[in-house]
Structure 1
Amino acid sequence: MKAIRFHRYGPPEVLTLDDVDEPHPGEGQIRIAVRAVGVNGLDSKIRAGHLRQMFDVALPSGTGTDASGIVDEVGAGVTDVRPGDAVFGIGQGVLAEHALLDVWAPMPDGMSFEEAAGYPIPVETALRVLDQVGVQPGQTLLVSGASGGVGTAVVQIAANRGITVIGTAGTANQEYLRGLGAVPTTYGERLVARIRELAPDGVHAALDISGAGVIPACIELTGNPAKVLSIADFTAGQHGAQVSYQATDMLGALREAAALYTKGILRIPVQHTFPLAAASAAQEHNAAGHAAGRTVIVVP
Structure 2
Amino acid sequence: MNHTMKAVAFSSHGGPEVLQLVEAELPQAGTGQVRVHIKAAGVQPFDYAVRSGWNPPGITIRFPQVIGNEFAGVVDQVGEGVTGFSVGSEVLGWALLACYAEYVVVSTDQIVTKPQEMPWEVAGVMSASGQTAHTALQELGVGEGDTVLIHAAAGGVGTFAVQLARAWGATVIGTASAGNHEYLRSLGAIPVSYGDDLVERVRVLAPDGVDAALDAAGKDALYASVALVNDKDRIGTLVAFELAEQLGVRLIRSQRSAARLTELVDLYTQGKLHIHIRKTFPLQQTADAHREVETGHGRGKVVLMVD
Same-fold call, TM cutoff 0.5: yes
Distance 1:64 1:52 in 2: 13
CA-CA distance at 1:105 after TM superposition: 0.7
Find the counterpart in structure 2 of residue 184 from structure 1: 191
* Of 143, 146, 149, the match for 2:153: 146
CA-CA distance at 1:150 after TM superposition: 1.2
SS at match of 2:173: strand
Find the counterpart in structure 2 of residue 281 from structure 1: 288
Q: What's the TM-score once normalised by structure 2's chain length?
A: 0.93
Work out whether residues 55 and 61 of structure 2, in 8 Å CA contact, stay in contact via their aligned partners in 1.
no
2:246 pairs with 1:241: no
Find the counterpart in structure 2 of residue 41 from structure 1: 45
CA-CA distance at 1:52 after TM superposition: 4.6
Distance 2:217 2:33 in 1: 32
Distance 2:31 2:12 in 1: 30
Find the counterpart in structure 2 of residue 59 from structure 1: 63
Percentage of identical aligned residues: 38
Distance 2:197 2:58 in 1: 35
Structure 1, 175-184 or 224-233: larger mean CA deviation: 224-233
Q: Structure 2 counterpart of 1:108, which letter?
A: P
Query: Considering only aligned residues, what root-mean-square deviation do their CA atoms show, in Å?
Result: 1.4
SS at match of 1:214: helix
Provide runs of 4+ in structure 1 moved above 4 Å.
none
Find the counterpart in structure 1 of residue 224 from structure 2: 217
SS at match of 1:219: helix
Q: How does 1:159-198 map to 2 (within 5 A)?
A: 159-198=166-205
Q: Structure 1 counterpart of 2:259, which letter?
A: G
Deviations 1:236-292 (A, max 9, x none): 2221111112x3242112211211111111111211111101111212211222222
* Of 71, 85, 103, the match for 1:98: 103
Q: Structure 2 counterpart of 1:238, which letter?
A: Q
CA-CA distance at 1:71 after TM superposition: 0.8
Paired positions, count: 299
SS at match of 1:277: helix
* Of 133, 136, 158, the match for 1:126: 133
Find the counterpart in structure 2 of residue 257 from structure 1: 264
Q: Structure 2 counterpart of 1:48, which letter?
A: S
SS at match of 1:213: helix
CA-CA distance at 1:53 after TM superposition: 4.2
Work out whether residues 147 and 210 of structure 2, in 8 Å CA contact, stay in contact via their aligned partners in 1.
yes
Q: Structure 2 counterpart of 1:76, which letter?
A: E
CA-CA distance at 1:216 after TM superposition: 1.2
Structure 1, 230-239 or 170-179: larger mean CA deviation: 230-239
Work out whether residues 149 and 268 of structure 1, in 8 Å CA contact, stay in contact via their aligned partners in 2.
no
Change (3 A) 1:289 1:212: farther
SS at match of 1:42: helix
2:165 pairs with 1:158: yes
Distance 1:158 1:277 in 2: 36
* Of 279, 300, 304, the match for 1:293: 300
Deviations 1:15-35 (A, max 9, x none): 111011211112222111111
Work out whether residues 46 and 55 of structure 1, in 8 Å CA contact, stay in contact via their aligned partners in 2.
no
Q: What's the TM-score once normalised by structure 1's chain length?
A: 0.96
Distance 2:33 2:274 in 1: 28
| Unaligned stretches of 5+ residues in structure 2 | none
Distance 1:55 1:203 in 2: 37
Change (3 A) 1:228 1:54: farther
Q: Structure 2 counterpart of 1:242, which letter?
A: R
Distance 1:84 1:53 in 2: 35
Distance 1:249 1:26 in 2: 22
